[in-house]
A and B are shown apart, each in its own frame.
Chain A
Amino acid sequence: MKKLSLTVIGLYIGILAAFSQYTKAVDSAQFKPRKLSFEEANIITSYYHQNGNNSAVTGGIGTELLSDYSGVFQLKLHAWDDRARKHTLDLELGVDHYTSASSDNIDPKTKSSASHADTRIYPSATWSMENEQKGSTFTLGGALSHEFDYNSYSTSVGFAKKTRNRMGELSFKAQVYLDNLKQIYPIELVPTATVSTRSGASSSGSKYPIVGRNSFVGTLSYSQIVNQRLQFILLMDAIYQSGYLGLPFHRVYFNNGSEQVENLPGTRLKIPLGFRMNYFAGDKLILRTYYRYYHDDWGLDAHTFNIETSYKITPFVSVTPFYRYYTQSAINYFAPYEEHKVSDQYYTSNYDYSKFNSHFFGAGVRLIPPKGVFKLENFNMLEIRYGHYTRTNGMNSDVVSMNLRFK
């Protein structure tokens, strides 16, 4: 009987041990590499419309009428590796289609030239690896942008490290853009050599000469949690550009009546410094503020102030009125229509480089119902936003955007 009891106990322990081992095997399996799994998807669509009377295509006079439709699809996937690091893959595909009355004036003799409308396609991919234990994140990205007269290839690398108490984070990012653009001149200023090239196929297969533009961007930022309601981030960029920095279809009319395409220096150094601070007041109100100071070696100084309040009508519905003020000085090479001298080395009549102030205001609505938008479980969030932009030199625009998020 004793032997039988001992055998039963032995069997019980054996079975228990076997199951214990099985359970342990399941635990360790949790740290094995996993396949990429869906995190979220976003669809962002916008309609933008502008008008004004200082088009650079017609030398600082003439219509700036432009409409742009854009759609962006973003997909976020993630996976964990056997060292408990989170790998995230962000994929994006964007398409813009615009119609522009001023671009149509590159060749005003045609009622509707090829330049009056264009489509831009811009795919990108970013991979990031986050080590939660070490508080560090490494990112690597690449992007393309293609439109009829402008192509861009870019790559980026970044690193971020949290402070020991996880209240702050220092990050660095470096980006390189290698761009090229077709030299599409106003019809009356097309160089003779280019005219002969246009009439037949060139050796490169393009009807237009191609020039390059390179941009090197370094970004340093530091974010800090101040308390349970307040956090801020300091941002600093250093941007160096070289190559052809104007656009070949921007006309300049001199004070003697002659005409040329704009001519700008071959290099530009930009230093923007930004500060963003968010504060959660009470239980329903969030204040989002932003300030940026900007300086570049073309002589442009600018200040940007932005404030947005997000008021939660319910925990799932919020309204977000906003206001943005922007002011800039003119670059050293800007002058209005027929005010440049022929002796000027560099010249442009592009009013985007003139002295002006602008106001941008509007509001948004954000819905995040717990059971999903329209009770569709995966339709996690809907946000709609409208803004009106007005510039002191007469240009104004409207933009309406919508973001659908699926989780």
Chain B
Amino acid sequence: MNQSSKQTKIMSGIAIGIVATVLMSSCTAVKEYQKSRLNDGEMVLGNRKVEKTELSFQSYREGASGANAGKSGGGCGCN
């Protein structure tokens, strides 16, 4: 692994960590009756069912996979 790749890897991890920490620290309590927007069908923290084929062809046509609740390498002749 070259030096710039190592730096990119570290920077990506740090960036995700910082964003998550800032968001966590600004959390406010949300009561059940205040969750109407969060419970909207399009606010789901996952892929849409209609994206199934898109995620499948991306796992075949790209070297990276995983961390998106889709295929991560097993179960098909994909990467």
Contact = CB atoms under 8 A, between A and B. Distances in A.
A204 interface: no
A125 B22 CA distance: 38
Contacts of A292: 64, 67-68
Which size bracket describes the interface of B in this complex? 35 or more
A326 B69 CA distance: 17
Contact of A331 (B5, B48, B61, B63): B63
A179 interface: yes
Contacts of A328: 62-64
Interface of B: 1, 5, 8-9, 12-13, 16, 19-20, 23-24, 26-30, 34-35, 37-38, 40-46, 48-54, 56-58, 60-69, 72-77, 79
Interface string A237-281: 101010000010000000000000000000010101111111010
Given A150-B76, A290-B68, A366 B24 contact: no
Contacts of A383: 48-50
Contacts of A268: 73
A145 B75 contact: yes
Interface in A364-407: 364, 366, 368, 381, 383-385, 387, 389, 391, 395, 397, 399, 401-403, 405
Contacts of A358: 62
Interface string A40-70: 0010101010100000000000000000101
Contact of A352 (B9, B50, B52, B79): B79
Contacts of A149: 77
A228 B27 contact: no
Given A227-B30, A232-B20, A301-B5, A353 B48 contact: no
Interface stretch (A28-36, A81-89, A302-310): A302-310
27 contacts: A46-B53, A50-B57, A68-B53, A145-B75, A154-B75, A177-B73, A177-B74, A214-B74, A217-B73, A219-B67, A225-B38, A231-B38, A239-B73, A241-B74, A277-B19, A286-B42, A292-B67, A293-B12, A293-B13, A318-B42, A320-B42, A352-B61, A360-B58, A364-B48, A364-B50, A384-B50, A395-B61
